[in-house]
Chains A and B, each alone.
Chain A
Amino acid sequence: MRAIWSYLSYHEPWAMGTVRALSELPVGTAGVVESLDLPDAVQHHLMHMGFVPEARVVVVRRAPAGDPTVYSIDGFEIALRRETASSIVVRATEDL
């Protein structure tokens, strides 16, 4: 179902160098962390978990309810809600 939907829905090609929120990346794609904009305590915690600029993030899967989403960073799987992931800016990466 989701696979069909992703064929039908039009994805704007993601040009190199452009940035978008991590929450907008489709499952199976990857991005490189550009910046984070979260409350201090949360931001520090996330950064120590690996969400630092230049780290590569892969969108692994969404929870059955569509949110939170599981991200892989440095081989770790970390789940974040959409509201948190939307404050993390990533840029395109050439490889998956």
Chain B
Amino acid sequence: MSSCCGTETIEITTEQPRIAGKLQTVALVGPPNSGKSTLFNRLTGLRQKVANYPGVTVEQHTGRMKGIGRADLLLVDLPGIYSFDSYSEDARVTVDVLKGEMPGTPKPDAVLLVLDSLHLRRQLMLAAPVLALGLPTLVLLNMSDLMESRGGEVDPLALAQELGTPVAKISAARGVGMDAIAQFLQRKSGEAEALQGATQPQRLELPVMGNARSYRQWATGISSRTRYKAPLSSEWTQRIDSVLLHPVWGPLTFLMVVFAVFQAVFTIGNPLSDAFGNVLYALGDLVGRFLGHGWLQSFLVNGVWRGVASVLVFLPQILLLFLFIGVLEDSGYLARAALIADRFMRTIGLNGKAFIPLLSAYACAVPAIMATRTIENKRDRYATILVAPFMTCSARLPIYMLIIAAFVPNRPVLGDLLGLQATALLGLYVLGFLAAVVTARLLKSSILKASSTPFILELPQYRMPTLRSLAMRLYDRGKMFTQKAGTIILSVTVVLWVLANVPFHTTLADSLIGRLGHLIEPAIAPLGFNWKIGIGLISSIVAREVIVGTLGTLYGADPATQALHLQAALRHGMTLGGAMALLVFFAFAMQCTSTLAIVKRETNSWRWPALQFAYMSVLAYLGALATNQIILHFLR
């Protein structure tokens, strides 16, 4: 049969014509936001990112299924898809892996089809093309606990009859129904070995491939025949949206939350950070006392420890920021933010969907650039990739906090609601955002001009972020930050200390690093930077936080400022103009090798990262120059 809306019968054989038919690789397939990554984490014991918006996973992840004692099986987590049309880059990944055309990922021998049981009628549409693959498939009705608590009903047995494949109710978030998955895999491993050569033809009525209309009729038919009763829609989502998407209350609530977060970074984060810093420095002094006065003490305490500790102290503020981002992503608000921003994004020539990667760039530009894979239009995607590093990532926080705490007085601006320091930080975030907007506008009206693509975005239901998932996020981010301090920053400070002490028995100014610093000083003097800052600018090309470690080491190596904390030491050698110029420099500059590498990977050429680096560096230099000169001449 090949009429547009009829069904066709496809002969499916359960035996696989592959290496001895052994079950080795299992793929997680399903529509976006149906809980595949949550299940992946459950089954493998790994921790891939999960959040409540469609498009969190944008590339394949693999792991051994240790969570259910099947370390012999490889599980592949895939980006969510609506159909096998590869509409966007992330969907293409899923289709390629399932076809066995993704280098480095073996072709799956079995499929776990994860469907959100709250919306089974539409989610079943994807079952048609997945079953047509002919692979052994287990259909998993995820979030079944939530569905039942809202009065929904589903009959897995009847559904299994209709689909000709086993069906199980599970809850990936709570770990319910994992035994059904283990059983299925057990049976398939056994079957695959026992049935070598023997085929077991199965007749299954499937709709005409590729036709959405016939998929839907098929899915509707099945859900009504199996007496699927959809749960009542969450009233909470409607109620929350009537406030958060309200023309007046929506934006107002958003602003209040943003103010609260920035203020919290100072009122809660700073005291914590100071206390943490005191502990770290005391620890250094303690070790120093054992070492006595010698080059070893100078190396370990004044060099390495000061450098690493000066970055580590910002851990509390970074965690606060990630707590906020976590709530934003897990609750389901992120998609709403994209909806609100669409009108504005359109005026700068970008799609509202680009707002999601841009918002996640507040954490780090690297995952944000990968998240652009969900943007369908290639030119829109490239424009978003190019502007993403302007968004204030968490790696800028240490230098921002250091300079603001040292140079901006803490006066109230909006009463107790917002202080001057928090306002300064907010201003830097706005500055970065404006740079991104203007650049996007320029790109979209020149080299990346394209006709506007439609904005199609699915809004997830609101969910209460769980303490467990927030705690996991903070733990992971804290670990990453500490590891970075212990590796990259540690190595840079070691190198710097050596350069600062070679040749032996010279002053800092005559050491190798001092001579290099003085060499570049003329270029940066108009910006209000001394040579130590200059060295910091060079070393922080590796990663932005490195400048704080560098300054910690260099001021620690200088006898004049050795006894001072870094904040006080900075006030020693810097004017207000230079300090503000440094902030502007970091708002614009592309000081991150990881970002350059990921841009190269995602755009498949060095052209884009090179352009990006050059553009951002020039902008940073000119911005810092203007800032210093204006303060120098007009604010005296």
Measuring CB to CB, which residues of chain A are less than 8 angstroms from any residue of chain B?
Answer: 38, 41-42, 44-50, 52-53, 55, 60-61, 63-68, 70, 72-81, 83-84
Give Cα A54 to B395, complex, Å.
51
- B87 and A78 contacting across the interface, CB-CB below 8 Å: no
Residue of B251, B342, B454 most packed against chain A (CB within 10 A): B454
- A49 and B458 contacting across the interface, CB-CB below 8 Å: yes
Measuring CB to CB, which residues of chain B are less than 8 angstroms from any residue of chain A?
Answer: 82-83, 85, 87, 118-119, 121-122, 125, 212-213, 215-216, 230, 233, 237-238, 241-242, 245-248, 250-251, 339-340, 342-344, 346, 352, 376, 453-459, 461
- A44 and B343 contacting across the interface, CB-CB below 8 Å: no
Residue of B nearest to A55 (CB): B216
- B339 and A45 contacting across the interface, CB-CB below 8 Å: no
- B459 and A77 contacting across the interface, CB-CB below 8 Å: yes
A48 touching B125 in the complex, CB below 8 Å, given contacts A64-B246, A76-B119, A78-B456: yes
Give Cα A52 to B118, complex, Å.
20
Interface of A is mostly: mixed
In the complex, chain B residues whose CB is within 8 Å of the CB of A49: 82, 122, 456, 458
A20 CB to closest chain B CB (Å) equals 20
Give Cα A63 to B242, complex, Å.
10
A77 touching B247 in the complex, CB below 8 Å, given contacts A44-B83, A45-B82: no
B544 CB to closest chain A CB (Å) equals 34
In the complex, chain A residues whose CB is within 8 Å of the CB of B340: 63-65
B439 CB to closest chain A CB (Å) equals 23
Give Cα A66 to B455, complex, Å.
14
In the complex, chain B residues whose CB is within 8 Å of the CB of A75: 118-119, 121-122, 230, 233
Residue of B nearest to A47 (CB): B212
A78 interface neighbour in B344, B376, B459, Cβ under 8 Å: B459
Give Cα A65 to B251, complex, Å.
10
A42 touching B121 in the complex, CB below 8 Å, given contacts A52-B216, A61-B241: no
- A84 and B245 contacting across the interface, CB-CB below 8 Å: no
- A79 and B85 contacting across the interface, CB-CB below 8 Å: no
Residue of A nearest to B454 (CB): A84
A63 touching B342 in the complex, CB below 8 Å, given contacts A47-B212, A50-B216, A75-B119: yes
A67 touching B82 in the complex, CB below 8 Å, given contacts A49-B458, A81-B454, A84-B454: no
Closest 5 CB pairs of A and B: A47-B212, A65-B343, A48-B83, A74-B122, A77-B459
